[in-house]
Amino acid sequence: MIRSMTGFASLSVADAPFSWGWEIRSVNGRGLDLRLRVPDWIDGLEAALRKKLGGTAARGNITCNLRLTRDDASGAMAVNEAQLQSVLSALQHIEARAMDAGVSLAPSKATDIVTMRGVLEQASYDDDAAALSALLMADFETVLADFDQMRIQEGKALAAILADQLTQVENLTRQAAEMTGARQAEMAAAFRANLARVLDNLEGADQNRVAQELALIAVKADITEEIDRLFAHVTAARDLLADGGPVGRKLDFLMQEFNREANTLCSKAQNKELTQLGLALKAVIDQMREQVQNVE
């Protein structure tokens, strides 16, 4: 199945003391461009996310954002045991020296000690980073699946549109072939008239040049190759849609080939009705090209 390059998915989770929100969105791109915004203090998270995204999408400009907050970050405090021990040892030393010097000191209070630098500090969750990373990645699998499912659904819609447009191209090409067959007598008369003009001016003419002119007249009157190629391109495009996978670039190249044959058909038409068919072909092919720009 084919996928669209456009997609979106989001997910919000609360698991105290953390809460987080995932968001993945993508738009069209020539290649795969991943832009991630995630906390840098969770080791290995960004690399793991890039690997997952790279395994899911082949093309597109993809943005992945993770908003992570600590719900109790402002109130969670912890005692730095090492610093507390250092402060207490220093107080004991000061009190002993003061006693030796006959200086009386007021008793130290707990409230005085906790205000000293480094004794009380905000709690750190760095030890929980590995567990948190596992939770985040589990949720990311969910949001990534939703993101890919949206791309698949849009891909199905694109495939249906392209299939209908290919049928239009096929029908118009068949009409051009039938019109060419019906015009065989007219085309033969025109060819004979052109040939007569060349023969009337043979005197003193370069034989190679005459042969080239005759060949050019014959080529300009024949659109058989263009018709055959258009039918072949329709078959190739249908095969690509059936194969699925990241076929956007191949389809884009095929659109150029479609357009080239339609242009040549118009230039060879020499007939109002056939020219109109060629222009109709070009219009449908242009619409197809716009849709193909969305295919991965």
Mean pLDDT of the chain: 85
Residues 83 and 68 placed together within one structural domain of the fold: no
186 inside domain: yes
How do residues 156-202 score in pLDDT, each as one tens digit?
A: 999 999 999 999 999 999 999 988 765 655 665 666 666 666 666 66
271 inside domain: yes
Domain holding 89, by residue range, is 77-122
How do residues 204-254 score in pLDDT, each as one tens digit?
A: 556 566 555 555 555 555 788 899 999 999 999 999 999 988 999 999 999
Residues 64 and 97 placed together within one structural domain of the fold: no
Residues 166 and 258 placed together within one structural domain of the fold: yes
How do residues 70-103 score in pLDDT, each as one tens digit?
A: 875 545 566 778 888 888 888 888 888 888 888 8
Closest CA to 172 of 97, 223, 243, 104: 223
Radius of gyration of the chain (CA): 38
pLDDT number for residue 74: 47
Q: From CA 229, how far away is CA 262, in angstroms rounded? A: 10
Burial class (CB in 10 A: 0-12, 13-18, 19+), 74: exposed
1 inside domain: no
Number of domains in the chain: 3
CATH code at position 68: 3.30.230
